């Protein structure tokens, strides 16, 4: 190639790429969906699965004919468990790749880091993980559980069925466990539990030496009252924690541990024999027996070509969120953000636990709450579930500075933190 | 009207059904089958009814129930003991104990159990097997009676005590009798005696039962219980200090294991090796692979998996280390910043390759039976895996020390690191000694990975958690000195464990870091500084 030809080539390429940028052609053929999950770094352990699940859902939808007569196209980026990088990658997805909606984030800190980007560029984020609440944002749909859809029912279960009187609240030291434990502590005290019967303990991310804490729990549990551990321990720290529990002989019959961040995926790395009976609270278990779930599991195993792959609660949240988004886009007839935001509220789609989930005006969804016991095969067996669906409550009623707040994104209120005491929009979290 | 007649008829039918059921030859079978239909909240009563029969046939049924191996046939509601065989279940008749063939899982439904059912099973089994001819079964029975004391079981315990010959079981039975006596309605005199006995034996169970009995005890008994509680708590506090030392030693041994390979590559050779943690991770993954092969091909050898994995891990990570040294590091000697960046890059490459091959999720590495559980030593609870890790860490340390000080290879290594040019002119092939030393350090990190796979999760991130700690230990102990690493690891471990109960895990770790920074200010070369020519190198 001569120099001249090279220059022309480069020029042509530049022109082509600018036109593609403007969406003059090529971009119209597909509807793009952004996937913002860490594929490397510490959170890859949980988030990679969600990326795969989204790719599967998009592929399935394309088999059914896509959306609005167009094919869906997944745009995958890797924010590498680096919180500021989440914001950068979100910006790239929205302004460079022009995606219509983004499915992503796991930790609360990553969500907090992308919030301003979604607000500024007016796009949509579906957040699939159980979180601490105290937030409701116009551009975000929270398809995971709020505290009242997971933590509070779990504590109720322990109080009623196991007659627990003494509580250990153990968590990893970051925003989700701290806020959840604050809510739980206020709730327990409101229920008449004495402050000296509550022990709160925080550990760093990836804590691996649990000897002291487990023996403290044992000691705390030998005061003659039934004791339970409520665990908001996150990520990698769980495996050594459960191993230490098993080795020090803490049985579920004596001191049950109820976890909010341990699902089928986390148990896959553990010998669950000694852990039978310890509990987890979620809105979905792989073991839930109904045809929709059976089909989902089958598709998942076929998609990953691995018969041993498990499904879990955040995957179900993406399943719900994705189907809600499809329905809302169909209803609005466009992928335009404002139209879809309006259309989303009130959309109802089947969930995998055998019912329907509905998007509420506070951008949270309705879900059943299930309590499951760990089985020796690494699955959970549901031992209790709420009689009906629970509506996600974004502003906890048990915290003094959020109990007066409500969220309603329908016109005319259109406010994520409306203070019913002062009658004004705005307050904490604005 | 029709409705009423219908319901009356149904009621009559039911009434007729009940007596025929009872008339049936075997009341036991009905009781067992009732488990299949019962709701979770009713199962407890059925278990109590089964236990009341006192029939030894009940024992396997309850055991199966507790383990989740009791299934009801959907077709006729018959309940069977089951055992998994592929996708089918082999059925055993609960009453006759005879085999009842196989059935596909879908045709059976599991009798649901939860924690309260398991507790009921434990209590029932405890009093049922107290008189078992098997000593271990009796021991287990007494333990379960101790864990869930039940005033109704007092008679059974006293009967068992009268018949018991074995010393250890007898002692436990005495304690179980005292424990149950306190919550029974026996006269105060007997209770006082029981409190005295519990006070002597101490222990967490005694503390628990005494503090719960305190509330309902009558006035004459209260001072006794309070005195006993105070005395038990005092001894417990003493033991707690001992327990902290033990935890510190155990944490120290983990630090030592993680750091000892680095003591070679960084300490002796001076290479800032950021991929050290990944060598630990590769060792852990080798253990995982060994266990996978053993599980599928030679399940009988599972208890030997760690012994098999150790040399393999050494070879695998040693080879990777050798390749790293020959491929990258040897070009970067004397350029610490570039070495740091290059090894950090290698660590990311290794992490991501493992993630691509094995997936991002944790892999299950099982504990062999000799590394599971705990035993009591006085008031100390000592877990087997921690004990073995301490032993292993010390053995590795001793082995390494021997290698460096007493073998020709160690002599060459020391010679090369202390004065390269002199060593070279004495005929030592310094490049190869460098490569082998680095491989040795990496190999030892791999062996550490085998041990750490027993207490931590095996994931691509495993190494990251240890790299900071390892550098901390080596720097604190004094670069280039193996003994420094040993003392550094154990003192950091113990310091951490004494701070943790007061400051919490998060603050404890911060405090340790601050202390180390202050210490390094005072003694920049660590605890045991090397003197002489090696310092300049």
Name the residue among B168, B170, B169, B196 with its Cα closest to residue B182.
Answer: B196
Residue A225 near chain B (CB below 8 Å): yes
Class of domain A3-145+299-366: alpha beta
Query: What is the per-residue pLDDT for A7?
Result: 47
CATH number of the domain encompassing residue B297 = 1.10.3470
Name the residue among B232, B200, B264 with its Cα closest to residue B436.
Answer: B264
CB-nearest partner of A265 from B114, B361, B458 = B361
In angstroms, rounded to a whole number, what is the distance separating the alpha carbons of residues B315 and B313? 5
Q: What is the ipTM, given to two decimal places?
A: 0.81
Domain ranges of chain A: 3-145+299-366, 148-288+370-391
Distance from CA of B334 to the nearest CA of A (A): 30
CB spacing of A383 vs B114 below 8 angstroms:
yes
Query: What is the per-residue pLDDT for A21?
Result: 42
- The answer to whether residue B488 scores a pLDDT higher than 90 is yes
H-run or E-run covering B322: helix B305-327
Query: What is the per-residue pLDDT for A427?
Result: 62
Query: What is the per-residue pLDDT for B20?
Result: 43
Give the model confidence (pLDDT) of B261-283 as tens digits: 998 888 888 888 999 999 999 99
Residue with tokens 């509580």: A167
Same domain, B215 and B284: no
Alpha-helical (H) ranges within A197-278 are 211-220, 238-247, 264-267
Question: How many residues would you count in chain A?
Answer: 430
Query: What is the per-residue pLDDT for A26?
Result: 44
CB-nearest partner of B457 from A211, A240, A277 = A240
Phi, psi of B6 (to 5 degrees): -60, -45
CB spacing of A215 vs B381 below 8 angstroms:
yes
Same domain, B455 and B509: yes
Indicate whether B175 belongs to any domain: yes
Q: Which of A182-186, A248-252, A379-383 has the lowest mean pLDDT?
A: A248-252
Q: Which two tokens stand for residue B72?
A: 């009801």
Mean pLDDT for A47-75 is: 94
In angstroms, rounded to a whole number, what is the distance separating the alpha carbons of residues A139 and A119? 6
Class of domain A148-288+370-391: alpha beta
- The answer to whether residue B466 scores a pLDDT higher than 50 is yes
Query: What is the per-residue pLDDT for A8?
Result: 47
H-run or E-run covering A365: none
Mean pLDDT for B325-348 is: 92
Distance from CA of A206 to the nearest CA of B (A): 7
Distance from CA of A291 to the nearest CA of B (A): 14
Mean pLDDT for B368-388 is: 86
Name the residue among A327, A323, A367 with its Cα closest to residue A343.
Answer: A327
Same domain, B110 and B133: no
Query: What is the per-residue pLDDT for B357?
Result: 92
CB spacing of A45 vs B385 below 8 angstroms:
no
Query: What is the per-residue pLDDT for A43?
Result: 82
- The answer to whether residue A17 scores a pLDDT higher than 70 is no
A3-145+299-366 and A148-288+370-391: identical CATH topology: yes
Cβ(B259)–Cβ(B442) below 8 Å: no
Look at A347 and A403; give whichever has higher pLDDT.
A347
Residue A276 near chain B (CB below 8 Å): yes
Indicate whether B193 belongs to any domain: yes
Residue with tokens 């021991």: B139
Look at B154 and A232; give whichever has higher pLDDT.
A232
Residue B3's pLDDT band (cuts 50, 70, 90): low
What is the DSSP secondary structure assignment for residue B207, as one 8-state letter? Answer: H
Name the residue among A193, A212, A194 with its Cα closest to residue A203.
Answer: A212
Cβ(B373)–Cβ(A274) below 8 Å: no
In angstroms, rounded to a whole number, what is the distance separating the alpha carbons of residues A51 and A103? 9
Q: Which of A120-129, A346-355, B105-114, B308-317 has the lowest mean pLDDT?
A: B105-114
CB spacing of B352 vs A40 below 8 angstroms:
yes
Residue A19 near chain B (CB below 8 Å): no
H-run or E-run covering A126: strand A125-127
Same domain, B295 and B260: yes
Q: Which of A26-40, A127-141, B24-38, B240-254 has the lowest mean pLDDT?
A: B24-38
Instruction: Please state, rounded to an integer, the average pLDDT across all residues of chain A.
Output: 88
Look at A328 and A219; give whichever has higher pLDDT.
A328
Q: What is the pTM for the complete model shown?
A: 0.83
Mean pLDDT for A284-299 is: 93
Query: What is the per-residue pLDDT for A114?
Result: 96
Residue A45 near chain B (CB below 8 Å): yes
Host domain of residue B87: 18-116
Same domain, B297 and B439: yes
β-strand A71-77 against A101-104: which pairing, if any?
unpaired
User: Which is it for the CA torsion B342, B347, B348, B354, positive or negative?
Assistant: positive
- The answer to whether residue A14 scores a pLDDT higher than 60 is no
B residues 278-337 lying closer than 8 A (beta carbon) to A: none
Look at B159 and A152; give whichever has higher pLDDT.
A152
Phi, psi of B24 (to 5 degrees): -55, 150
Query: What is the per-residue pLDDT for A140?
Result: 96
Instruction: Please state, rounded to an integer, the average pLDDT across all residues of chain B.
Output: 84
Give the model confidence (pLDDT) of B162-219 as tens digits: 888 888 888 888 888 888 887 777 888 888 888 888 887 777 777 777 887 777 777 7
The number of folded domains in chain B is 3
CB spacing of B254 vs A209 below 8 angstroms:
yes
Which strands form A227-232's sheet, in the order they lie side by side? Answer: A198-203, A166-172, A227-232, A257-259, A279-282, A370-374, A380-385
Distance from CA of A271 to the nearest CA of B (A): 6
Same domain, B299 and B438: yes
Alpha-helical (H) ranges within B360-463 are 384-406, 408-418, 420-425, 430-452
Same domain, B72 and B203: no
Indicate whether B472 belongs to any domain: yes
Q: Which of A338-347, B10-19, B138-147, B315-324 has the lowest mean pLDDT?
A: B10-19
CB spacing of B362 vs A162 below 8 angstroms:
no
Question: How many residues would you count in chain B?
Answer: 537
Phi, psi of A150 (to 5 degrees): -145, -60
Query: What is the per-residue pLDDT for B225?
Result: 84
User: Which is it for the CA torsion B33, B63, A154, B45, positive or negative?
Assistant: positive
Mean pLDDT for B374-402 is: 90
Query: What is the per-residue pLDDT for A23?
Result: 40
Q: Which two tokens stand for residue A225?
A: 């009252």
Distance from CA of A101 to the nearest CA of B (A): 26
Mean pLDDT for B337-366 is: 90
In angstroms, rounded to a whole number, what is the distance separating the alpha carbons of residues A375 and A380? 6
Distance from CA of A272 to the nearest CA of B (A): 10
Cβ(A172)–Cβ(A260) below 8 Å: no
CB spacing of A48 vs B359 below 8 angstroms:
yes
Q: What CA–CA distances, in Å, run from B368 to B23, B310, B373, B384?
A: 51, 14, 10, 10
- The answer to whether residue A25 scores a pLDDT higher than 50 is no
Look at B77 and A114; give whichever has higher pLDDT.
A114
**CB hemisphere CA count around B304 (13 angstroms):** 9
Give the model confidence (pLDDT) of B228-240 as tens digits: 888 888 888 888 8
CB spacing of B114 vs A246 below 8 angstroms:
no
Indicate whether B450 belongs to any domain: yes
């Amino acid at each position: 190639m001569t120099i001249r030809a090279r220059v022309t080539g480069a020029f042509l390429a530049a022109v082509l790429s600018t036109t593609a940028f403007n969406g003059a052609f090529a971009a119209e053929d597909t509807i793009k969906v952004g996937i913002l999950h860490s594929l490397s770094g510490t959170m890859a352990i949980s988030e990679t699965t969600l990326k795969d699940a989204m790719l599967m859902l998009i592929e399935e939808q394309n088999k059914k004919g896509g959306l609005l007569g167009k094919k869906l196209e997944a745009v995958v980026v890797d924010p590498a468990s680096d919180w500021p990088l989440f914001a950068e990658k979100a910006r790239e997805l929205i302004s460079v790749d022009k995606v219509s909606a983004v499915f992503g984030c796991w930790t609360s800190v990553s969500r907090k880091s992308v919030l301003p980007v979604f607000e500024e560029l007016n796009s949509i984020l579906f957040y699939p993980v159980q979180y601490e609440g105290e937030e409701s944002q116009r551009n975000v749909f929270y398809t995971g559980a709020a505290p009242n859809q997971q933590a509070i029912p779990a504590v109720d279960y322990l109080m009623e069925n196991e007659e627990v009187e003494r509580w250990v609240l153990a968590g990893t030291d970051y925003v989700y466990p701290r806020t959840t434990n604050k809510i739980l502590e206020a709730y327990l005290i409101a229920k008449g539990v004495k402050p000296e019967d509550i022990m709160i303990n925080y550990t760093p991310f990836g804590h691996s030496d649990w000897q002291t804490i487990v023996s403290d729990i044992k000691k705390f549990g030998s005061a003659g009252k039934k004791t339970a551990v409520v665990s908001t321990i996150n990520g990698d720290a769980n495996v050594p924690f459960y191993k230490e529990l098993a080795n020090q002989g803490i049985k579920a019959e004596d001191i049950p541990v109820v976890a909010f961040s341990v699902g089928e995926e986390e148990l896959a790395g553990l010998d669950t024999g000694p852990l039978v009976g310890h509990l987890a609270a979620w809105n979905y278990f792989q073991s839930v027996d109904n045809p929709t779930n059976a089909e989902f599991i089958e598709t998942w195993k076929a998609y990953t070509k691995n018969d041993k792959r498990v499904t879990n609660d955040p995957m179900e949240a993406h399943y719900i969120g994705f189907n809600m988004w499809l329905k809302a886009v169909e209803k609005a007839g466009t992928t335009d953000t404002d139209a879809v935001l309006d259309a989303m509220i009130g959309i109802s789609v089947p969930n995998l636990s055998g019912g329907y989930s509905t998007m509420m005006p506070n951008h949270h969804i309705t879900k059943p709450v299930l309590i499951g016991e760990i089985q020796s095969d690494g699955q959970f067996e549901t031992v209790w579930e709420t009689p009906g669906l629970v509506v996600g409550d974004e502003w906890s009623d048990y915290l003094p500075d959020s109990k007066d707040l409500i969220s309603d994104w329908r016109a005319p209120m259109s406010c994520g933190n409306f203070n019913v005491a002062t009658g004004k929009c705005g307050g904490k979290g604005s | 009207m029709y409705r009423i007649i219908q319901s009356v008829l149904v009621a009559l039918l039911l009434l007729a059904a009940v007596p025929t059921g009872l008339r049936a030859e075997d009341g036991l079978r009905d009781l067992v089958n009732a488990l299949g239909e019962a709701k979770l909240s009713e199962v407890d009563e059925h278990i109590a009814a089964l236990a009341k029969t006192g029939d030894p046939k009940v024992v396997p049924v309850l055991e199966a129930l507790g383990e989740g191996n009791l299934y009801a046939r959907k077709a006729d509601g018959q309940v069977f003991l089951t055992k998994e065989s592929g996708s089918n279940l082999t059925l055993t008749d609960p009453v006759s104990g005879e085999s009842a063939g196989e059935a596909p899982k879908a045709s059976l439904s599991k009798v649901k159990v939860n924690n309260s059912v398991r507790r009921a099973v434990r209590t029932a089994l405890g009093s049922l097997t107290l008189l078992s001819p098997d000593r271990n079964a009796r021991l287990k029975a007494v333990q379960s009676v101790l864990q869930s004391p039940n005033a109704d079981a007092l008679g059974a315990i006293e009967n068992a005590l009268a018949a018991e010959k074995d010393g250890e079981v007898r002692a436990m039975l005495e304690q179980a009798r005292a424990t149950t006596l306190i919550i029974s309605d026996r006269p105060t005199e007997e209770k006082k005696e029981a409190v005295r006995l519990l006070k002597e034996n101490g222990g967490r169970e005694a503390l628990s039962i005494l503090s719960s009995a305190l509330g309902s005890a009558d006035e004459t008994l209260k001072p006794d219980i309070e005195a006993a509680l105070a005395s038990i708590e005092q001894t417990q506090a003493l033991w707690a200090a001992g327990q902290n030392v033990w935890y510190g030693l155990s944490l120290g041994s983990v630090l030592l294991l993680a750091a000892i390979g680095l003591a070679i590559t960084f300490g002796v050779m001076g290479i800032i090796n950021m991929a050290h943690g990944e060598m630990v991770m590769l060792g852990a993954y080798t253990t995982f692979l060994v266990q996978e092969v053993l599980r599928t091909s030679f399940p009988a050898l599972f208890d030997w998996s760690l012994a098999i994995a150790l040399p393999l891990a050494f070879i695998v990570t040693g080879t990777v280390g050798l390749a790293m040294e020959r491929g990258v590091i040897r070009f970067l000697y004397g350029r610490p910043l570039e070495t740091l960046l290059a090894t950090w890059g290698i660590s990311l490459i290794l992490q991501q390759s493992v993630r691509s091959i094995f997936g991002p999720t944790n892999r299950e590495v099982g504990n062999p039976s000799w590394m599971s559980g705990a035993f009591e030593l006085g008031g100390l609870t000592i877990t087997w895996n921690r004990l073995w890790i301490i032993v292993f860490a010390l053995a590795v340390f001793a082995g390494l020390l021997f290698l460096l000080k007493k073998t020709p290879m160690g002599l060459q290594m020391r010679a090369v690191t202390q004065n390269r040019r002199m060593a070279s002119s004495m005929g030592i092939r310094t490049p190869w000694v460098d490569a082998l030393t680095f491989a040795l350090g990496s190999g030892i990190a791999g062996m550490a990975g085998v041990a750490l796979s027993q207490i931590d999760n095996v994931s691509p991130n495993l190494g990251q958690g240890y790299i900071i700690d390892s550098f901390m230990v080596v720097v604190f102990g004094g670069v280039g000195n193996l003994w420094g690493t040993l003392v550094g690891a154990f003192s950091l471990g113990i310091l951490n464990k004494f701070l943790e109960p007061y400051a919490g895990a998060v603050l404890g770790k911060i405090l340790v870091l601050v202390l180390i920074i202050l210490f390094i200010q005072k003694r920049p070369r660590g605890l045991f500084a090397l003197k002489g020519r090696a310092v300049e190198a």
